[in-house]
Chain A
Amino acid sequence: MENLIGLLVVAPLLGAAVLLCGGRRLDRGGPWIGTLFAAASLAIAAVLFAGLLGRDADDRTLDATAFSWVPVGGFRADVGFHLDQLSMTFVLLITGVGTLIHLYSVGYMAHDERRRRFFGYLNLFLAAMLLLVVADNYLLLYVGWEGVGLASYLLIGFWQHKPSAATAAKKAFIVNRVGDMGLSIAIMLMFTTFGTFAFGPVLERATEAGEGKLTAVGLMLLLAACGKSAQVPLQSWLGDAMEGPTPVSALIHAATMVTAGVYLITRSGAIFNAAPDAQTAVVTVGAVTLLFGAIVGCAKDDIKKALAGSTMSQIGYMILAAGLGPIGYVFAIMHLVTHGFFKAGLFLGAGSVMHGMNDEVDMRRYGGLRKYMPVTFVTFGLGYLAIIGFPGLSGFFSKDKIIEAAFAKGGTEGWILGGAALLGAAITAYYMTRVMLLTFFGEKRWQPDERGELPHPHESPRTMTIPMIVLAVGSVFAGGLFSINDVFLKWLEPVTGHAEGHSPVSALTVTAATMVVLVIGVAIAWAQYGRRPVPVTAPRGSLLTRAARRDLLQDDFNHVVLVRGGEHLTRSLVYVDHSLVDGVVNGTAASVGGLSGRMRKLQNGYARSYAVSMFGGAAVLIAATLLMRAV
């Protein structure tokens, strides 16, 4: 049983190795080989899940140590795996959604000549992501953490011939590296504090360390989470990451990788529980991001970027919940799973729309597509209802719980957080309705593409629609199923712990308030985009709209401060190196050279002048000798 955990990671890794080293022979069969390896890891995950279910609730952990990785002096890092309910949840989500998206990509990437490599990268991503969630120590988690970063880099920049894609990939990796820096400092702090960075000892003995140290660790972990999960202030890469192929956006930048930050915080719950200041930072980041992402999502005309803003915002909810401590961990993960379903479904739907519309991404040039793409419309619509929290669907259950928990934080803080979460829900309803109306309703606003052809929207092939249908089913029922008898809560509680919050407002009031803001949001969107015709080119818009289109000026800030500043710094350093550091040395050389140049003039090549110096020298010597004698 334990050995299977290693195999879980190795299977997709093997797939990646086969596909990336296999050469052109595998070009044709590559997609299916990749899908096969993904399905294999799904099968292994299912076996492990069955195994865990067969045990008692308190005994549902599996540990395995594969081999000693870095044994140096007092420093020991093992390649060891730890599978408990929390990791299992992630494993199922990753392998499940991963396999579906492999299948979808078979259709989506059918005409790309480099699709073998695409599937190799996807498999590599699965391996790294699985390693991230089953690692039993922070250093191995870090390996997976950077591994998913690499896979994300390769996949965002998959269409490397486009400079924008290559730039976006680079940006994603570098911004993530800033977060990674946080994670590595956190690991170092753990090592100096606990002498180890294995989950077991660190989390068990977290309370024994000083609060200052724990706060530092917590803040560094939060920095890491901000990078990977695209939270303010490291969120700028996610919008650009939409340059990657749409299945990538669905898998990596919606369902799995970007939620790794939530995993990290939930996994390190023991540290955060003992460091209230760090928790405050976490909830602040979550609340700010959920509004930030939602506002950005309202202004974007690019369907994928609107969804990316939404992803940011939804992860903000999860981070917020995770920062609330034991009253929120379970709901963070529950929202993460349901979000995995509906957001992946929405992205796949968007991909399907783009597939039918000659890769057009501007929603203002869609319209009226519901008749042409019925399956896409229905699945997308269900995802839409789920994300805005329509009663009975997945998002309703998971998001509602988070809003309740936010109020239950208590005090002024509770009111602020709860209010932010409610406001976020309203904006979510608004921008998602906008996406829905612009894409599937209204009149056709189709425009000819670069070759002058009008798009002929059509339903996508079976390999693409089946995953969409499966995910739509998940978006509809997952939340409800999880809430029956609180199964999800009871499943996760042994790992994350759970505490009931004491909300100043009753659960019913919260639900009612959520419904009210939902209706308001939908109504405003309907008034703006449903009732009147939509212009094909975006109007200039208010100051806020224009700022939101530019990601609330965050990129401009980065550009001016970091990019320009960095350019100036490196340029001046190059100058310093050349003129100052090297200049001192070259200056010495030059002055010696100048001196010898002057001395050289004495050697004029005339025998008689040499003779003069000889005679002169002899005379001086004799004179000196005589003088010495005399003295």
Chain B
Amino acid sequence: MNPVNYLYLAALLFTIGAAGVLIRRNAIVIFMCVELMLNACNLAFVTFSRLHGNLDGQIIAFFTMVVAAAEVVVGLAIIVTIFRSRHSASVDDAGLLKL
């Protein structure tokens, strides 16, 4: 199969993720959409690695996974805390810094 098709898939996934972040209000869903975008990037990286025949893209994909894992830990903790204190997971409700 043509490896370029994987790139199309990655672009599609990224767009879905981005649209989700822009449209949805639920923090969990936004969070998952962010993950989707990250993974779309990973897919693109791996594809490029394959296309260029070197390992750079795969290494960066691993980095991204580590960072994403760390992000999940912190991000979920924040979302849970907000949900506990405000009984809502909507990002629009968390507007305390707004003047």
Direct contact between A and B in the complex (CB less than 8 angstroms)?
yes
Question: Could you tell me which A residues sit within 8 Å of B by CB distance?
Answer: 600, 603-608, 611-612, 615
Which listed residue, B22, B95, B98, touches A612 by the CB 8 Å rule? B22
User: Contacting B99 at CB < 8 Å: which of A600, A606, A612?
Assistant: A600
B21, A608: Cβ atoms under 8 Å?
yes
A residues less than 8 Å from B98 (CB atoms): 603-605
> A608-B22, A611-B21, A612-B22 known; 12 other A-B pairs, CB under 8 Å?
A603-B98, A604-B98, A605-B98, A606-B92, A606-B95, A607-B91, A607-B94, A608-B25, A608-B91, A611-B22, A615-B18, A615-B22
B30 cross-chain contacts in A, Cβ below 8 A: 607
Residues from chain A with Cβ under 8 Å of B21 in the complex: 608, 611
Docked pose: A403 CA to B57 CA in angstroms: 121
Contact code string B57-99 (vs A, CB < 8 Å = 1, else 0): 0000000000000000000000000000000000110110111
- List CB contacts (< 8 Å) of B3-36 with chain A: 18, 21-25, 30
The 5 A-B residue pairs whose C-beta atoms are closest, nearest first, are: A605-B98, A605-B95, A607-B91, A611-B21, A608-B22
State in angstroms the CA–CA spacing of A42 and B13 once bound together: 114
Instruction: Tell me the bound Cα distance from A603 to B97 in angstroms.
Output: 10
Judged by DSSP, the binding face of A is helix
What separation, in Å, do the CA atoms of A459 and B99 have in the docked complex? 86
Interface size bracket, B side: 10 to 19
In the bound complex, residues from chain A placing their C-beta under 8 Å from that of B97 are 605
What is the CA–CA distance of A611 and B22 in the complex, to the nearest angstrom? 6
In the bound complex, what is the Cα–Cα distance between A608 and B30 (angstroms)? 9
Q: How many A-B residue pairs have CB under 8 A?
A: 26
Min CB distance B71 to A, Å, is 15
Closest B residue to A607 using CB positions:
B91
- In Å, the complex CA distance between A92 and B92 comes to 97
Q: Which residue of B lies closest to A618 (CB)?
A: B18
5 contacts between A and B (CB under 8 A): A604-B98, A606-B92, A607-B92, A608-B25, A611-B21
Residues of B contacting A604 with CB < 8 Å? Answer: 98
* Interfacial chain A residues near B95, Cβ < 8 Å: 605-606
Bound CA–CA A615/B30 (angstroms): 15
Kindly state the separation between the CA atoms of A21 and B98 in the bound complex, as whole angstroms: 65
Q: Measured between C-beta atoms, what is the minimum distance from B79 to chain A in Å?
A: 12
The answer to whether B22 touches A606 (Cβ under 8 A) is no
When chains A and B are docked, how far (Å) is the Cα of A605 from the Cα of B18?
19
**Interface pair B18/A606, CB less than 8 Å apart:** no
Closest to A606 in B: B92
Q: Complex formed: what's the CA distance from A417 to B43 in Å?
A: 118
List B residues at the A interface (Cβ < 8 Å).
18, 21-25, 30, 91-92, 94-95, 97-99
Minimum CB distance partner of A612 in chain B: B22
Contacts of A611 in B (CB 8 A): 21-22
Query: Which B residues lie within 8 Å of A615 (CB)?
Result: 18, 22
Measured between alpha carbons, how far is A612 from B22 in the docked complex, in Å? 7
- CB-based nearest A residue for B24: A608
Chain A residues, CB < 8 A from B22 = 608, 611-612, 615
CB proximity of A244 to chain B, nearest CB, Å:
66
For B92, the chain A residues whose CB sits under 8 A away are 605-607
CA distance A482 to B8 in the complex (A): 129
Q: List residues of chain B with CB within 8 A of the CB of A603.
A: 98-99
CA A600 – CA B98 in complex, angstroms? Answer: 10
Which residue of chain A has its CB nearest to the CB of B91? A607
From residue A516, how far is it (CB to closest CB) to chain B in Å?
Answer: 96
- CB closest residue in chain B, given A608: B22
With the chains together, A606 CA to B24 CA distance in Å? 11
Min distance, Cβ A467 to any Cβ of chain B, angstroms: 82
Q: How far is the CB of B26 from chain A (nearest CB, A)?
A: 11
Q: How far is the CA of A606 from the CA of B91 in the complex (A)?
A: 7
* Cβ contacts under 8 Å, A606 to chain B: 91-92, 95
- Bound CA span A607–B25, Å: 9
Give the complex CA separation of A605 and B95 in angstroms: 5
B23 and A608 contacting across the interface, CB-CB below 8 Å: yes
A607 to B92, CA, bound (A): 7
Whole-angstrom CA separation of A30 from B95 in the bound complex: 79
* Best-surrounded residue of A603, A604, A608 (most CB of chain B within 10 A): A608
Closest beta carbon of chain A to B32's beta carbon, Å: 14
List chain A residues, Cβ under 8 A from B24. Answer: 608
B98 (CB) vs chain A CBs: closest residue: A605
Give the docked Cα–Cα distance between A254 and B91 (Å).
Answer: 91
Smallest Cβ distance from B81 to chain A, in angstroms?
A: 16
CA distance A14 to B82 in the complex (A): 83
Q: What is the minimal beta-carbon distance from A505 to any residue of chain B, in angstroms?
A: 96
Whose C-beta in chain A lies nearest to the C-beta of B21? Answer: A611
Separation of A608 and B29 alpha carbons in the complex (Å): 12
Q: How far is the CA of A254 from the CA of B30 in the complex (A)?
A: 99
B99 neighbours in A (Cβ, 8 Å): 600, 603
Contacts of B18 in A (CB 8 A): 615
CB distance from B7 to the nearest CB of A (A): 15
> What residues on B are CB-neighbors of A607 within 8 Å?
30, 91-92, 94
Bound-complex Cα distance A79 to B97 (A): 73
A358 to chain B, nearest CB (A): 75
Roughly how many angstroms separate A299 CA and B78 CA in the complex, as a whole number?
96
Question: A605–B98 Cα gap in the complex (Å)?
Answer: 5
CA distance A316 to B77 in the complex (A): 100
Q: How far is the CA of A611 from the CA of B37 in the complex (A)?
A: 13
Bound CA span A615–B21, Å: 10
Please indicate the chain A residues that have their CB under 8 angstroms from the CB of B23 in the complex. 608
A607 to B23 CA separation, bound complex (whole angstroms): 10
Q: How far apart sit A424 and B98, CA to CA, in the bound complex (Å)? A: 88
Taking the closest CB of chain B, its distance from the CB of A93, in whole angstroms, is 80
Separation of A35 and B92 alpha carbons in the complex (Å): 91
